Each structure stands twice: as structure tokens, then as C-alpha cells.
Amino acid sequence: MPLDIVMLGPPGAGKGTQAARLAKHYGIPAISTGDMLREAVQAGTDLGSRVKAVMDRGDLVGDDLMIEIVRERLARADTANGFVLDGFPRTRPQAGALDAMVNEGGLSIIDIAVPAEELVRRLSSRRICRDCAAIADPASVERGATSCATCGGMLVQRSDDREQVVRERLAVYERNTKPLLDYYRDRPSFRTIDGLQPPDAVFGAIAEAIDGMAAPGGGDKVRTPLVPEGPRPGAAG
């Protein structure tokens, strides 16, 4: 049966890292908002052209367009056994649309919770490679590393990782995402995970929660997701 996972959490909570690990562990694709937007633009389709026009204006991609991008991505064959979504949904309309795509009972919703001051510390100390954009190991940064362990490029701070900007990003997340958490919170397939633990412990807690929900009676989940336009590739229908 498909294993459909939604990762929630503020910037700096570790969603991307854990999504990649979960994808490898369960053999399903990790799908991020950024990846979807880049793929749409690079594809040069009508949808991609519309996305590029929005981004070129410096505007945020609206709900309707974002939903269309996700619907197209989830209709691909590689999601037949499930997916891990990172960065979608971000609003209640997006969450409602996702429910319609996959059957709301079929989602495992994971929220990684981390206190705001820890997030500020993590993000404001984060460094990336100027050349390959790899995120530097935090421990190496604390030891004073200035070059990328992958390619040797210079480590720099992203402009949106400055403390004032980080606090603004977290305020936006809190304002926009609380209604989304309220939307999901009462579902038997919703779990909050302590993101203050070491990454391995966070991963273990998430996997344990997901496996528990997938067990008989673990979350009373409906495991027959469909894309609105027709059966999802590989699904019974």
C-alpha cells in the first residue's frame, strides 16, 4: 500500500534532512517545494512558464498554481508506492487539495517541533558552500571550518540566515502555519516529534511513529490514494 508522508515544521527544524532519510529508508521519493518549482521551470511547459513568470516578478507562487504543480508531480509513476512531501502543504487550501488528491486518511503527518531560540541559533550559524551550495556540517562550522568538505569552496552565510531575517521567517511561519497544524492535529495519523533530539534519534522517532500508524489499527488510515484525474500510477483502480 502507498506510504504518503507529509513533513511539517519551521525553518531549521530539519525537515529536509529527515525527508531524505525517510525516502531512502522506505524506498519512496522525497519531494520538496523547491525541487518541484525548479523542475517545472526547467521543463519549459506551459505550467513551468507560468511559474517562472511569478518567480521573475519576485512574487510567491499562489495556492492554485502550487496545487497544480503538486498534482502533476504526484501523478508520476515513481510515487506509486508513496512519497515524502517537504514544503507542501503550507496553507489550509493546499492541505484540502492534498486530501482530495490522496484520500485524507492515507496521509502520515509528521510535525517536527523545535523551540524558536534553538531555530535562531541553528539557522544563524548555518553555512553553505558558495560553489556547490552544500550545507556544511554544523560541528565543523563550530570548530571553525571555512571551506566545503565536498568541493573545497568557501563557506558563506545565506542572506536569509541572518538573525533578524530568521526571526522574521519564524514569525511568518508561526502566523501562516498554525491554522495548518490545527487542521491536522486531531487526526489519528498526526504525530509531533521532538526536534531537539540528535538527528538519529529524531529519525528513529519518526520511523517508529510512521510504522505504528501503518500497523493494523495504528491510525485507522485509508491506504488507497488517488489523483483526481484518474488512478494514481501503480494503484489499484
Indicate which residues carry an active-site annotation.
15, 90, 126, 158, 169
Going along the chain, which residue ranges are E strands?
A: 3-8, 30-32, 82-86, 107-113, 128-129, 155-156, 190-194
Q: How far is CA 215 from CA 1, 92, 98, 105, 224, in A?
A: 12, 28, 23, 14, 15
Is 48:42 a contact under the CB 8 Å cutoff? yes
Strand 3-8 relative to strand 190-194: parallel, antiparallel, unpaired?
A: unpaired
The three cell numbers locating residue 79: 510515487
| Helices 199-214 and 15-26: angle between axes, nearest 10 degrees | 50
Work out the burial of residue 64: count CB atoms within 10 Å of its CB; fewer than 13 is exposed, 13-18 middle, 19 or more buried.
Answer: exposed
Is 142:155 a contact under the CB 8 Å cutoff? no
